[in-house]
């Protein structure tokens, strides 16, 4: 069974706080790891595609790191804003079946003004 896990399940932070959450995935047969942001009543939106061990990606106040050897990725948000409130999904692709994407359960972030 292929499991992608995310923690915490939900998170409430004050505006201005920095936060991070974790995605863990099988460390073997790695192809790619995707991060998506899903705001209520909108479509999930791609944040990052990560493919190499040690990758670090940044978009504004959001950044992500990747460790394929141990099977985890961290997403960091610096100085959280209310508009960052969303569910953050990670999704894993295996090399032997890269056409199939396995999603984690998501981390729901609420930023309190």
Measured distance CA(39)–CA(53) in Å, rounded: 28
Site mask for other proteins (CB under 8 A), range 52-81, x = bound = ------------------------------
Least distance (Å) between residue 43 CB and other proteins: 4
Contact of 77 with 84, CB cutoff 8 Å: yes
Give the pairing type, strands 86-94 and 30-38.
antiparallel
Stretch that binds other proteins, among 35-43, 53-61, 63-71, 72-80 (CB under 8 A): 35-43
Express the helix, strand and coil content of the chain in percent, nearest 5 each: 5, 60, 40
Residue in 13, 74, 76, 102 binding other proteins, rule: CB under 8 A: 102
Looking at 12, 61, 69, 100, which residue binds other proteins (CB under 8 A)?
100
């Amino acid at each position: 069974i292929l499991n992608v896990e995310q923690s915490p399940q939900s998170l409430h932070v004050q505006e201005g706080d920095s936060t991070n959450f974790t995605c863990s995935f099988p460390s073997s047969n790695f192809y790619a790891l995707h991060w998506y942001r899903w705001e209520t009543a909108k479509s999930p939106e791609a944040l990052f595609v990560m493919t190499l061990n040690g990758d670090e990606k940044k978009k504004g106040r959001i950044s992500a790191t990747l460790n394929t050897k141990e099977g985890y990725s961290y997403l960091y948000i610096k100085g959280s804003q209310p508009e960052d409130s969303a569910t953050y999904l990670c999704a894993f692709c295996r090399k032997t079946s890269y056409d199939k994407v396995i999603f984690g359960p998501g981390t729901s972030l609420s930023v309190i003004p």
